[in-house]
Homo-oligomer: A and B are copies of this chain.
Amino acid sequence: MDFELKLSVIKVNKSKLCELTIAELSRKLFDGEIRATDVVGSCLDRIEKTQETTNAFVAYDPELALETAQKQDLHFAEGVVSGPLHGIPIAVKDNYLTADYPTTACSKIYPDNPVGLDSTMVAKLRSAGAIVIGKTNMHEWAYGATNEESSYGTTRNPWNSEHITGGSSGGSGAALAARMVPAALGSDTGGSIRIPSSACGVSGLKPTAGRVSRTGILPLSWTLDIGGPMARSAQDLRILFNVVSGFDPKCPTTYGICSDNQSTNKGHRFRIALFRSSEILCDDTVMESVEQALDVLRDDGAVVDEVSFSGLETGFGAWKILLHCEAAAYHAKFLEESADLYSDNVRVQVEAGRCLSASTYLKAQQYRAVFNQRFSQLTDRYDLIAMPTLPVTAPRIGQSELEVNNSPITSQDAMTSIAWIANFTGLPATSVPCGFDERRLPIGLMFVGPAFGEETILSVAERYQALTQWHKFAPSWN
């Protein structure tokens, strides 16, 4: 038995393990073909090679990770398997509380966190056997979508280190793209999981509001925030989502019972709406890639209609009001005590939020109800709504203003200008790679589903990834 194990291990190129998906690694781990220490070792080697260029991690502890992997291997040898993520290394965004690492939200304020506590999602991952390999870089307090502002410095895109990763879960996006880990956690208030997934060419899922616990994630804007998985395939997102989702008695906003959307019916022809609006600026190259992706699905049997929608500009404005008001309420104490420890960029936004009146906030919430009612008419008619995740590929670092279709837009606004819809409505959304621009920067395709429709959007994303190869491309390293 021992002899057989050694023999089979020889077949595997251990240094390349970090490039495999969770599904691939699990199979090898459960077959005894590789060990958790091999996987962690491969990831640590890759982190060593790419961390300086990407700045994806803000903390990682090779000894601790290897020690945990060794324990997993011992358990496995004894016939004990923790769960479906046994031996899988995972990177955690720095706004999730983790028992073994400090949590700073990449702010200099260093919030006063409870010591030794895991956020619920991290605890669920560990129970399922995942190995937390480190904490990833993020936009300071998650209050921005470029990942340029961070107490640990800007995160750099593995596809081109002169470009941003998008944010605020940019470190998780970069870590996945650079094949430093097969799995990561992000959080999403206006696209912060999907934006870096798109900009870094990886896959990310923002769950339906209430389907995962927010306990132990430092908030940005609590009626919009949600955590979620990031990975390199829709299949891996499903594996992670099944582990992290579900009721949490510690989180009053989680649902006890989930009525899953039923359209995963195998024989069903998916009805997809391609979302069009004159209010969305979008680069031609990006839109063409999205249209081509829908052609692939249409050829595969899906019904694809074009639908138009209005009220997006007002909605985007209302989303910003909710964000700024809630963030200002959360930050009031920090701002009073340590205003000088904020970056200018983030402090200005917190201060702006303080000046907004309760009436303005409540009007925004009222518009949200009206908007969501209208948007649900789309999700009632279609299995999912398709749109680009971002109107552009990753802008250059430091480029605060862009031009899209001859109209000026800030990089920050460009990043969130489409993705916010899923937070405003609370609906599930996934971003998967669907091409590259002429500079070899990834393009992302977003699917927004009905409430509790994670299964549907992941099924379509998985089908798309079975038909195409975009998610398999990796940046090249010299």
Question: Which residues of A pack against B, CB within 8 Å?
Answer: 252, 321, 325-326, 328-329, 332, 353-363, 366, 369
Asked whether A354 lies within 8 Å of B361 as measured between CB atoms, the reply is no
Q: Closest CB-CB distance, A371 to chain B, in whole Å?
A: 13
Asked whether B356 lies within 8 Å of A326 as measured between CB atoms, the reply is no
A362 partner, pick from B326, B366, B369, beta carbons under 8 A: B326
Q: Closest CB-CB distance, A144 to chain B, in whole Å?
A: 20
A325 partner, pick from B252, B355, B362, B366, beta carbons under 8 A: B362
Asked whether A329 lies within 8 Å of B369 as measured between CB atoms, the reply is no
Once bound together, how far apart are the Cα atoms of A359 and B321, in whole Å?
Answer: 12
A359 partner, pick from B328, B363, B369, beta carbons under 8 A: B328
Once bound together, how far apart are the Cα atoms of A369 and B359, in whole Å?
Answer: 21
Q: Closest CB-CB distance, A340 to chain B, in whole Å?
A: 20
Which residue of B is nearest A325, CB measured? B358
Known: A329-B366, A361-B361. 5 other contacts (CB 8 A): A325-B359, A328-B358, A328-B359, A353-B359, A357-B358
On chain B, the residues within 8 Å of A354 by CB distance are 357, 359
Once bound together, how far apart are the Cα atoms of A361 and B332, in whole Å?
Answer: 13
On chain B, the residues within 8 Å of A358 by CB distance are 321, 325, 328-329, 353, 356-358, 360-361
Once bound together, how far apart are the Cα atoms of A35 and B354, in whole Å?
Answer: 63
- Residue contacts A-B, CB under 8 angstroms, 30 given: A252-B369, A321-B358, A325-B358, A325-B359, A325-B361, A325-B362, A326-B362, A328-B358, A328-B359, A329-B358, A329-B359, A329-B362, A329-B363, A329-B366, A332-B359, A332-B363, A353-B358, A353-B359, A354-B357, A354-B359, A355-B357, A356-B357, A356-B358, A357-B357, A357-B358, A358-B358, A358-B360, A358-B361, A361-B361, A361-B362
Which residue of B is nearest A369, CB measured? B252
Q: Closest CB-CB distance, A280 to chain B, in whole Å?
A: 27
On chain B, the residues within 8 Å of A353 by CB distance are 358-359
Once bound together, how far apart are the Cα atoms of A366 and B329, in whole Å?
Answer: 10
Q: Which of A357, A360, A363 gathers most chain B CB within 10 Å?
A: A357
On chain B, the residues within 8 Å of A356 by CB distance are 357-358
Which residue of B is nearest A355, CB measured? B357
On chain B, the residues within 8 Å of A332 by CB distance are 359, 363
Once bound together, how far apart are the Cα atoms of A15 and B366, in whole Å?
Answer: 50
Q: Closest CB-CB distance, A399 to chain B, in whole Å?
A: 32
Once bound together, how far apart are the Cα atoms of A360 and B359, in whole Å?
Answer: 11
Once bound together, how far apart are the Cα atoms of A332 and B359, in whole Å?
Answer: 8
Which residue of B is nearest A252, CB measured? B369
Once bound together, how far apart are the Cα atoms of A329 and B366, in whole Å?
Answer: 10
Once bound together, how far apart are the Cα atoms of A369 and B329, in whole Å?
Answer: 15
Q: Closest CB-CB distance, A263 to chain B, in whole Å?
A: 22
Which residue of B is nearest A322, CB measured? B358
Once bound together, how far apart are the Cα atoms of A332 and B366, in whole Å?
Answer: 13
On chain B, the residues within 8 Å of A361 by CB distance are 325, 358, 361-362
Once bound together, how far apart are the Cα atoms of A356 and B354, in whole Å?
Answer: 11
Once bound together, how far apart are the Cα atoms of A326 and B365, in whole Å?
Answer: 11
Once bound together, how far apart are the Cα atoms of A356 and B363, in whole Å?
Answer: 14
The 3 closest A-B pairs by CB, nearest first: A325-B358, A358-B361, A329-B362
Once bound together, how far apart are the Cα atoms of A326 and B359, in whole Å?
Answer: 7
Once bound together, how far apart are the Cα atoms of A362 and B356, in whole Å?
Answer: 12
Once bound together, how far apart are the Cα atoms of A198 and B369, in whole Å?
Answer: 36
Once bound together, how far apart are the Cα atoms of A361 and B328, in whole Å?
Answer: 11
Which residue of B is nearest A373, CB measured? B252
On chain B, the residues within 8 Å of A328 by CB distance are 358-359
Q: Closest CB-CB distance, A6 to chain B, in whole Å?
A: 56
Q: Closest CB-CB distance, A440 to chain B, in whole Å?
A: 43
On chain B, the residues within 8 Å of A321 by CB distance are 358
Q: Which of A332, A361, A363 gathers most chain B CB within 10 Å?
A: A361
Once bound together, how far apart are the Cα atoms of A355 and B356, in whole Å?
Answer: 10
Q: Closest CB-CB distance, A331 to chain B, in whole Å?
A: 9
Once bound together, how far apart are the Cα atoms of A329 and B363, in whole Å?
Answer: 7
Once bound together, how far apart are the Cα atoms of A353 and B360, in whole Å?
Answer: 11
On chain B, the residues within 8 Å of A355 by CB distance are 357
On chain B, the residues within 8 Å of A359 by CB distance are 325, 328-329, 332, 353-354
Which residue of B is nearest A332, CB measured? B359
Once bound together, how far apart are the Cα atoms of A358 and B369, in whole Å?
Answer: 18
Q: Closest CB-CB distance, A257 to chain B, in whole Å?
A: 11
Q: Closest CB-CB distance, A154 to chain B, in whole Å?
A: 30
Q: Closest CB-CB distance, A210 to chain B, in whole Å?
A: 15
Once bound together, how far apart are the Cα atoms of A356 and B355, in whole Å?
Answer: 10
